Amino acid sequence: MFRRFAVLTFLACFLLQSARPQSSEPFGGRVFNAQSKRGIANLEVRLRPPRGSGSPIMIGNTDQNGVFRFSQVRPGRYLLEVSQGPYVLYRAETDTSKVHNIEIPIERR
Amino acid sequence: MDLRMLLFFTPSFAGFVMVVGGMWLIYKQKIYIDKESNQPVEISLPGNFRFKSNYPALALFVLGFFPLVYPFHELPRLEEYPHVIWVKLTGVPNTNVYPALVYASMTPSPVTREGDSFTVPVPFIGKGDEEYKVLLIANEHVLDSQTAKRMSDGNIEIKFAPTILTPSEFKTTDASVPADYK
């Protein structure tokens, strides 16, 4: 009887642990001019999860210092894109479970 | 067998029945109603109109010829009539930006350099006066959108407004989107 109760308790704990949503963490960075090191404002920053992952696409903009921040990002792989209108200035894959802050240098023409 | 093909050849079959039936009526001499004179009956109508009783059989033969032949004449052009099935794209967008619009295109046409033309084959669904809205998109940014109706030749010509973007002062990346993210 006790053994059965212990097994059921263990299973319930295991299921509860599995069902708990993955905790979201902040992710941010700075986009700056590679030559002058000054931040670049008004760029669109997009965090795109792999297709079928279920995570939302996060879209934000850089402030006057070139800083962007997403307050709640599910840890995992994302495609990070920085664009100015239709021009894509930066595109690379990043893992937000390992990197929480990223520095992105952009070169002038 | 496609049900549409059955419908396509139904008039042909009706025409065949009319032609063969007309021939059979003529052959069986059903045109002769007056057995004594063995001549077609001639009917006079007010206004000096006259017709003979064999005319319906001849008319049946002539009128049946058109529906018999026309489907065979149009057969090579059947590929121009694609099989259109109504399919509804449904879903619930999960965003915090409203209002939003949902567009769909099966075969978007890439335009890679200046002067390139585009051709987007679309099924035309409607009675003929509906408008198609067409978007010009670069890197998921809508540069222009235009609406247009069908022209007399059946196609839709889109005239986008000239779009001139100030070139970015920064270098653009050549990195392509990895397969996992497409």
Structure tokens at B2: 């496609």
A102 in contact with chain B, both atoms CB, cutoff 8 A? no
More confident residue, A53 or A30: A30
- Asked whether the beta carbons of residue A89 and residue B173 sit closer than 8 angstroms, the reply is yes
* d(CA B119, nearest CA chain A) in Å: 22
Query: How high is the pLDDT of residue A44?
Result: 94
Task: Please indicate, yes or no, whether residues B124 and B62 belong to a single structural domain of this protein.
Answer: no
Contact pairs from chain A to chain B, CB under 8 Å: 58
Q: Is the pLDDT of residue A16 over 50?
A: no
β-bridge mates for residue A29, sequence order? A68, A102
Distance CA B163, CA A32 (A): 28
* d(CA A34, nearest CA chain B) in Å: 10
The topology (CATH level 3) of A23-106 is: Immunoglobulin-like (2.60.40)
ipTM: 0.74
- Asked whether the beta carbons of residue B172 and residue A89 sit closer than 8 angstroms, the reply is yes
Domain ranges of chain A: 23-106
- Which of A27, A39, A46, A35 minimizes the C-alpha distance to A95? A27
Q: How far is CA B67 from the centre of its chain?
A: 19
Q: Report chain A's mean pLDDT, rounded to a whole number.
A: 85
- Asked whether the beta carbons of residue B175 and residue A106 sit closer than 8 angstroms, the reply is no
- Asked whether the beta carbons of residue B181 and residue A83 sit closer than 8 angstroms, the reply is no
Among candidates B138, B139, B170 on the partner chain, residue whose Cβ is nearest the Cβ of A106: B170
Which residue range forms the structural domain that includes residue B22? Answer: 3-80
Task: Please indicate, yes or no, whether residues B12 and B61 belong to a single structural domain of this protein.
Answer: yes
Query: How high is the pLDDT of residue B53?
Result: 64
User: Which residue blocks in A20-83 are alpha helix, DSSP H?
Assistant: none
Task: Please indicate, yes or no, whether residues B135 and B76 belong to a single structural domain of this protein.
Answer: no
- Which of B52, B46, B18 minimizes the C-alpha distance to B33? B52
Strand pairing of A101-106 and A25-33?
A: parallel
- Does residue B181 belong to any structural domain of this protein? no
Q: Is the pLDDT of residue A32 over 60?
A: yes
Tens-digit pLDDT string for chain B (182 aa): 567 778 888 888 998 998 888 888 777 766 555 666 666 667 677 777 776 666 677 777 788 888 888 888 888 877 776 667 778 889 898 888 788 888 888 788 888 888 889 988 887 776 667 888 899 988 888 889 999 888 888 788 899 988 888 888 999 998 988 998 88
Q: How far is CA B155 from the centre of its chain?
A: 11
Residues A70-89: what's their mean pLDDT?
92
Residue indicated by tokens 């270098």: B171
Residues 53-82 of A with CB under 8 A from B: 56, 77, 79
